[in-house]
Amino acid sequence: MSGPDIIIRQACADDAAAIAPLFDAYRRFYEQAADLQGAERFLSDRLARQESDILLACDEKGWILGFCQLYPTFCSVEAAPIFSLYDLFVQPAHRRTGVGRALLLAAEALARERGKVRMDLTTARSNHMAQALYESLGWQRDVVFLAYSRRIGG
């Protein structure tokens, strides 16, 4: 899937080092400490073990403009496979240019191709720009369920 000047491709294990700076920036956006080596290691592990799918948005020269990471999982209620779209990040200079939209549409196409019945995501309450994008593409805010989490260990 591609648009003008945006090429979407699936990442392979060799891409981990190139994606790591964006992944590290994504994590810093969510108030995590910078850790470029940790970011690369995490991505390398996910890709090598085929535990996630990472889509890259590139320009015509191959420069990575943004990425999204999808984790395959299941919905017990629907008794069907779904994707958790956990990470979506576009370099600040390329926001509002269609990169995020192209990534989301490519993720939807991949989900359909893989037989997923739904994609879920969460975002910060303060991330209004992302929320507007999601809603413009038909994503619906959950008003029924509350999300909880609990830290386990360090």
Q: What are 4-61's pLDDT values in tens digits?
A: 589 999 999 999 999 999 999 999 999 999 999 999 999 999 999 999 999 999 999 9
**Could you tell me if residue 32 is inside a domain?**
yes
User: Which DSSP string corresponds to 78-115?
Assistant: TTEEEEEEEEEEE-GGGTTTTHHHHHHHHHHHHHHHTT
Which structural domain, as residue segments, surrounds residue 87?
A: 2-136
Tell me the pTM: 0.92
Domain assignment present for residue 112? The answer is yes
Which domain CATH number covers 103?
3.40.630.30
Q: Is residue 141 part of a domain?
A: no
What confidence tens digit (pLDDT) does each residue in 53-73 have?
999 999 999 999 999 999 999
Q: Look at the block and give the residue holding tokens 């809603």.
A: 135
Chain centroid, CA 30 distance in Å: 14
> How many independent structural domains does the chain possess?
1
